[in-house]
Structure 1
Amino acid sequence: MVERQINGVGCFDRNSLIKNVSGIYLFMKRAMDIAISLSAVVLLSPVLFIIGALVGLRSQGLVLNIEEKYGFGGRRFQAYEFKSIVNNPIIRKLPLLFNVLKGDMSLIGPLPIPAEDLRPNPWYQLRMSAKPGITGLWQITERAGAMEEMVRVDLKYIRERNLQNDFKILLKSIYLLLGGKKRNLLP
């Protein structure tokens, strides 16, 4: 792989990041995304319905915020979240499971890039060499703040992605969802 520096952040050539991924990995990851998301939607459908009804009673118009985001290969898509009157960010993001089922997103991956934040930046192009995720390596670590650090962590995930790492990130995300403490998983 060809490594280069962009404003002090080590990056890899997009083509080498894409070549690093096998078709079997992509197939298995998509199968995992569909199985887990569909199961979650079925199990949580009463909760989704109740939250949707409550949001509808408390606000005008649509129950969901629909935000333009950029994902894999620079493809634009509409991300769904409950309106911001839902205080819990995890509950607010439950409708993103439908984005996973549609194929816009994955359960695990770098954060999607909001349309208003997209700028001609090599980092964004590299981050878009993987499908964005509801959760990812960045979200489960104690890292905070600097965009450069988020990009570094996202590129680390993209460079080293495999089913074992995805499964670890998913388990850690569930652990945190149930009240566990964050700890730094990066060297």
Structure 2
Amino acid sequence: MLTASVQEDVGGDHREPLGGWAKRLLDLLVASTALILASPILVLIPLLIKATTGGPVLFVHRRIGFNGKVFDCYKFRTMVPNAEEVLQRHLSCDLQAAQEWAANQKLKCDPRILFFGKMLRKSSLDELPQLFNVLRGDMSCVGPRPVVADELQRYGAAAHEYLKTRPGLTGLWQISGRNMTEYSHRVLLDTQYVQTWSLLRDFSILIRTIPAMMKFDQTS
């Protein structure tokens, strides 16, 4: 669960995630269909990761979900095994990088990311394992980008909106520039999504995600 300070900030207890059974049914239909269609890729990518870098295939990270529940978020591994150590060493030696990380929780030139990992990130193929998170009920096909506890504090009062729904495999952030979107704008998009949600809008975002994923020139 969330830290005491975050719980105190957001307050409230939502009985069911945004969209209820209708959104959940859409999630199950889309995720199961996508897993079937993507099954050859889901076999090929782990083989390529093992062949090119060795080490674990999956990267498992703790994220905050509906009502502040912590869950294991799955991705294909795109970074070096000692990623946290490499990050901290890089930030301690590069003031500009440290400022960039503090502002956006992202780095344009990230020393942790492997060559094959860059290709996976630019195509969003690294996020395919999150389809299993959707089937488990940790995530939704559409929603706010899943965050860690420290990031949720940056949402301020908007954290209450984030906790009303399951985080999404895609969302307004993905069709609005993906990782080029500044963090404050990302919070605004997440809040807007929750406050104006409709099933029709989820369909629209899913359809618009396809061309957004094809823009390989964006920052990973």
Task: State the Cα distance separating 1:175 from its structure 2 match.
Answer: 2.6
Instruction: Determine if the alignment matches structure 1 residue 171 to structure 2 residue 165.
Output: no
- 1:134-153 correspondence runs (5 A): 134-142=169-177, 144-153=180-189
Unaligned runs of 5+ in 1: 1-12, 183-187
On the 8 A contact 1:137/1:169 being kept in 2, the answer is yes
Q: Which structure has the higher relative contact order (CA within 8 Å, separation 6+)? A: 2
For residue 5 of structure 1, what is the aligned residue in structure 2? Answer: none
* Matching residue of 1:43: 37
| Contact 2:73-2:130 within 8 A present in 1 as well | yes
Q: Which amino acid aligns with 2:130?
A: L
- Equivalence for 1:100: 134
Percent identity for Structure 1 against Structure 2: 32
Matched to 1:53, the amino acid is L
Q: Does 1:26 align with 2:20?
A: yes
Q: Distance in 1 between matches of 2:177 and 2:151?
A: 23
Distance 1:39 1:145 in 2: 29
Deviations 1:65-97 (CA, angstroms, capped at 9, x unpaired): 101100111010011111114222211111111
Root mean square deviation, CA, Å: 2.8
Is the CA contact (8 Å cut-off) linking 1:127 and 1:155 kept in structure 2? yes
Counting helix residues as a fraction of each chain, which structure ranks higher?
2
Alpha-carbon offset, residue 123 of structure 1: 2.6
Is this contact kept in 1: 2:174–2:212, CA < 8 A? Answer: no
- Cα shift at 1:117: 2.8
Question: Which residue is equivalent to 1:124?
Answer: 159
Preserved CA contact (<8 Å) 2:173 2:181: no
CA distance in 2, matches of 1:14, 1:137: 25
Amino acid at match of 1:81: K
What does residue 52 of structure 2 align with?
A: 58
Q: Does the 8 A contact of 1:74 with 1:125 survive in 2? A: no
Distance between the aligned counterparts of 1:115 and 1:49, measured in 2? 32
Q: Which residue is 1:159 aligned to?
A: 195
Q: By how many angstroms is 1:101 displaced?
A: 0.8
Could you say which structure has the higher strand fraction? Answer: 1
CA contact (8 A) 1:106 1:132 kept: yes
TM-score, scaled to structure 1: 0.77
Gaps of 5+ in 2: 1-9, 79-113
Q: Structure 1 stretch 30-39 or stretch 170-179: which is displaced more? A: 170-179
Q: Specify the SS of the correspondent of 1:112.
A: coil
- Report the CA distance shift for 1:164/1:42 in structure 2 as closer, same or farther (over 3 A): same
Q: Which residue of 1 aligns with 2:147?
A: 113
Aligned length: 165
Deviation per CA, 1:104-132, whole angstroms, max 9, x where unpaired? 00010011112443438433233121110
Describe the SS at the equivalent of 1:79. Answer: strand
